[in-house]
Chain A
Amino acid sequence: MSDSDTFDPADPKNQKTVGNIRSDNPRMICRGVEVFYADKQAIFNISLDIGKNEVIALIGPSGCGKSTFLRCLNRMNDTIDICRVSGTIKLDEMDIYDPAIDVVPLRAQVGMVFQKPNPFPKSIYDNIAYGPKIHGIVTNRTDTDEIVEMSLRKAGLWKEVKDRLDQPGTGLSGGQQQRLCIARTIAVNPEVILMDEPCSALDPIATSIIEELILELSAQYTIAIVTHSMQQASRVSQRTAYFHLGVLIEVGPTDQLFTRPLHRLTQDYITGRFG
């Protein structure tokens, strides 16, 4: 294995992922995923399983392709004209890049929470009710009330907002907004929740609330989280995947990856030698 300065991601011998990419009980299976932005290749031949009810953390230096990979999982990359994805990604045996697949129900099954809280310019109630309404999950007011309360309770926001559901979601604090976005995602009853650095715009207290929330949610949902904080990865995830320059370098149980990394690059990153 070559030194980190002369690491060449296009070199096939460097593309073997160290560790176990498989999961005993997979919810999503990715094989040979590659993404191109126009002519530039962003990620190379990534194969990874995401297990049922596990939290998997995707870490790595900026620009390593972890967010790009995450956005492949619910086809959010479709919104970028110049982006092209190859390889297979399966959700419960269903190939999500199959031309016959409709992205609308897919995105209801694989929800996403973004880096910056992005509540809609609507009331708190409507923010939550929006998803269930467009998918026809609810048709009358009673059902909607119920799903709004249930989602807000799961996101740990109910007590704080139950008396002001009609007020704009944009009026909440940053941490509350992010929990609102999580509640909004839960409301359409997804199987997988993708989180793209959900705490990077939040203060430490809001961050710890969200981390607790992630742990609670993992009982019910499969969660893939991109994070820059290795402490966060070690607190919330069972498995961790380390990306470097568009390549998946190492996957393993979180405690093992942070204490006994197998790959030199992983070790360099977690000991803070670069990144």
Chain B
Amino acid sequence: MNPLHLLIVLLLLSSAGYYIGRKKAFAVAGGAQGIQKLHSRPVYYGALTAMWCGIPAIAVVAAWLAFEPSIITGLVLNGLPDEIRSLPDGMLNLLVNDIRNLVDGNIVSAASDPMIQQAADRYAHLKLISLTSLTIASVSLSLLALIFIRSRIVPNLRARNQVERIVRYLLIACSMIAIFTTIGIILSVLYEAIRFFQTVPVTDFLFGLKWSPQMAIRADQVGSSGTFGAIPVLAGTLMISMISMAVAAPIGLMSAIYLSEYANRRIRDMVKPLMEILAGIPTVVYGFFAALTVAPFFRDTGDFLGLSISSESAMAAGLVMGVMIIPFVSSLSDDVINAVPQALRDGALALGATRSETVRQVVIPAAFPGIVGSLLLAVSRAIGETMIVVMAAGLSANLTANPFQAVTTVTVQIVTLLVGDQEFDSPKTLAAFALGLLLFLVTLALNVIALVVVRKYREQYE
């Protein structure tokens, strides 16, 4: 039985538990007439039984599957000769991969080695034992729980309260998953970033004005010690984000106002989906558009005016990115503007305010917190966007205020640092994590600022 089948069996057991529990509740109540004697309605007894039956067993399966590979690998490695166990970590990992591939029936490079073959057989054997014992353990746990809870069903068992409590814990557990994942990501980035800061001082990274992350791969290479000043990269990110927000915020907001306040139903039903198509275009396609149409247009216009504009520019990338995030702003703002009560509009109109006065002075202020939220989402989208920038803004880390020069952004640098063939512990690759941390801190700061703005505004007006 493989884990999927096991899971199905447990779910079936659990649903059987529902009927058994409900039936027992009817039985202890003395038939349908006696239901009044029960503390909760029979379905709650059923649900409680199903939960007892399903949740612990499934939790055991999940925990088992999470720890099984590492335990089995440990056992298999222990069985290998000493000279192999003393190999360096990297080699050992490759070996383990070979063994696993052999078990799964994939093609491996070292298939002919009898020692590996033996280890693979041992691995497969252990896996079979593990699965069998897991099946027995979880099914019997499920059955035991079923018998236990069934014996506990009496008329004054507070089944409803218990079910409600279990549901609450389940919901808490789900929200914890999101929080712990975030913490895990932060910690992993932080760990690598600290390793980076052991070779490059934090101040050099934060305040350095030159970004040139070239490291010597071999000791005899010349002149490449690398400088890791994040300012040019950060400035590029900020410039492109600002250009794109300068495009997206007014256009998005105004189209949202048109759609929610002026357009009639028919136009709205037509225009809104069309605008949302913009959000569905892959960013790579926007990248083509920026690199092949917009950027050359700027360059040619520049030539015509006698200015020298490079064919990769922050302006081209920022404009196209702005177009890309228009639907984020417009769609969300449209929703929050629609959520403003009609009574407020009526109040302003009844005072003799015109439509645009109503929108500017009553509707927008009332929707302001939501609008800030939508703009913020758009900013984080702009900061995180990579593809358009790679294609249209270039890779050179210029520190410049001229939007018609090539710049680069934090995300683009992370990509280029990590796709290289450098060793993973060289400062060049580790710099990617430091940049990631920096980016995270910037977006976090933006979020905090927006929260403060929204809260202050709410206090004032609610």
Query: Interface of A with B (CB < 8 Å)?
Result: 74, 76, 79, 81, 103-108, 111-112, 114, 116, 118-122, 130-131, 134-135, 168, 170-171, 181, 184-185, 188
B56 at the interface (CB under 8 A from A): no
Chain A residue, CB-CB nearest to B349: A79
Q: Compute the total of residue contacts between A and B using a CB distance below 8 Å.
A: 77
B residues less than 8 Å from A121 (CB atoms)? 344, 362, 365-366, 461-462
Mark contacts of B345-366 with chain A using CB atoms, 8 A cut-off: 1 yes-contact digit, 0 otherwise.
1111111111001000110011
Chain A residue, CB-CB nearest to B351: A131
Complex Cα spacing A29 to B134, Å: 87
B292 CB → nearest A CB, Å: 44
**CB–CB A107/B343 < 8 A:** no
B265 at the interface (CB under 8 A from A): yes
B65 CB → nearest A CB, Å: 53
Chain A residue, CB-CB nearest to B367: A121
**CB–CB A118/B351 < 8 A:** no
Known interface pairs A81-B265, A107-B350; A122-B341 also in contact (CB < 8 Å): no
A136 CB → nearest B CB, Å: 11
A173 CB → nearest B CB, Å: 15
Known interface pairs A121-B365, A181-B347; A188-B461 also in contact (CB < 8 Å): no
Q: Chain B interface secondary structure, helix, strand, loop or mixed?
A: helix
Q: Give the contacting residue for B346; candidates A79, A104, A135, A184; CB below 8 A.
A: A79
Complex Cα spacing A122 to B353, Å: 16
Chain B residue, CB-CB nearest to A181: B347
B460 at the interface (CB under 8 A from A): yes
B315 CB → nearest A CB, Å: 38
B264 at the interface (CB under 8 A from A): yes
Which of A106, A112, A118, A135 counts the most B-chain CB atoms under 10 A from its CB? A118
**CB–CB B352/A106 < 8 A:** yes
A73 CB → nearest B CB, Å: 11
Complex Cα spacing A114 to B344, Å: 10
Query: Interface of B with A (CB < 8 Å)?
Result: 264-265, 341, 343-354, 357, 361-362, 365-366, 460-462
Known interface pairs A114-B343, A118-B341; A170-B461 also in contact (CB < 8 Å): yes
Q: Give the contacting residue for B365; candidates A103, A108, A122, A134; CB below 8 A.
A: A122
Known interface pairs A79-B345, A114-B346, A118-B344; A188-B351 also in contact (CB < 8 Å): yes
**CB–CB B351/A81 < 8 A:** no
Chain B residue, CB-CB nearest to A81: B264
A residues less than 8 Å from B265 (CB atoms)? 81
Which of A111, A119, A130 counts the most B-chain CB atoms under 10 A from its CB? A130
A residues less than 8 Å from B348 (CB atoms)? 120, 130
Complex Cα spacing A107 to B345, Å: 13
Complex Cα spacing A76 to B347, Å: 10
Q: Give the contacting residue for B352; candidates A116, A170, A188; CB below 8 A.
A: A188
Which of B350, B351, B354 counts the most A-chain CB atoms under 10 A from its CB? B350
**CB–CB B350/A114 < 8 A:** yes
Chain A residue, CB-CB nearest to B353: A134
Known interface pairs A120-B362, A121-B462; A185-B352 also in contact (CB < 8 Å): no
**CB–CB B346/A76 < 8 A:** yes
Complex Cα spacing A148 to B343, Å: 22
List 18 additional contacts besides A119-B347, A130-B361, A134-B361; criterion CB under 8 Å: A76-B346, A76-B349, A104-B352, A104-B354, A107-B351, A108-B351, A111-B351, A114-B350, A118-B343, A120-B347, A121-B366, A121-B462, A122-B365, A130-B348, A170-B461, A170-B462, A184-B347, A188-B352
Chain B residue, CB-CB nearest to A194: B350
**CB–CB B351/A184 < 8 A:** yes
